[in-house]
């Protein structure tokens, strides 16, 4: 059974979180749960975890990297530079 938690965040951050949740077809609670569940279990280094968190905070669509395997647990999907160029064309 899930537990209820209350958090206090800046209204601007909350608005960005709602937009991101809508894009990912989830809820703000779902985003937070996913982020916390992946914390420390991603197998990636601190750098990958920090980049994933920064990408989430900046409402990024993707993390562009040659090493997508390190970002499997990231709250923001990782794509290769080639995938990025195809999607941006």
Residue 60 lies in a domain: yes
Task: Give domain status of residue 6, yes or no.
Answer: no
50-55 average pLDDT score? 83
39 vs 50, higher pLDDT? 50
Strands 63-64 and 78-79, by their bridges, are parallel
Q: Is residue 5 part of a domain?
A: no
Rounded Cα distance between 75 and 78, Å, is 9
pLDDT tens by residue, 35-49: 777 665 555 576 777
Cα 77 to Cα 8, 43, 83: the distances in Å are 26, 16, 12
Give residue 74's domain range.
11-88
- Tally of structural domains, the chain: 1
- In a domain, residue 3? The reply is no
Res 84: pLDDT: 95
Q: Residue 34: what pLDDT?
A: 77
In this structure, what token pair is assigned to residue 58?
């900046």
Helix axes 46-57, 11-23, angle to 10 degrees: 100
Looking at the domain assignment, is residue 26 inside a domain? yes
Query: In the prediction, which pLDDT does 44 show?
Result: 59
């Amino acid at each position: 059974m899930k537990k209820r938690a209350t958090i206090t965040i800046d209204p601007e951050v909350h608005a960005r979180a709602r937009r991101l949740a809508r894009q990912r077809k989830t809820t703000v609670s779902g985003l937070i749960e996913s982020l916390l569940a992946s914390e420390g279990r991603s197998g990636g280094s601190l750098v990958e975890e920090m980049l994933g968190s920064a990408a989430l905070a900046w409402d990024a669509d993707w993390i562009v990297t040659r090493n997508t395997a390190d970002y499997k647990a990231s709250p923001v999907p990782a794509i290769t530079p080639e995938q990025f160029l195809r999607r941006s064309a």
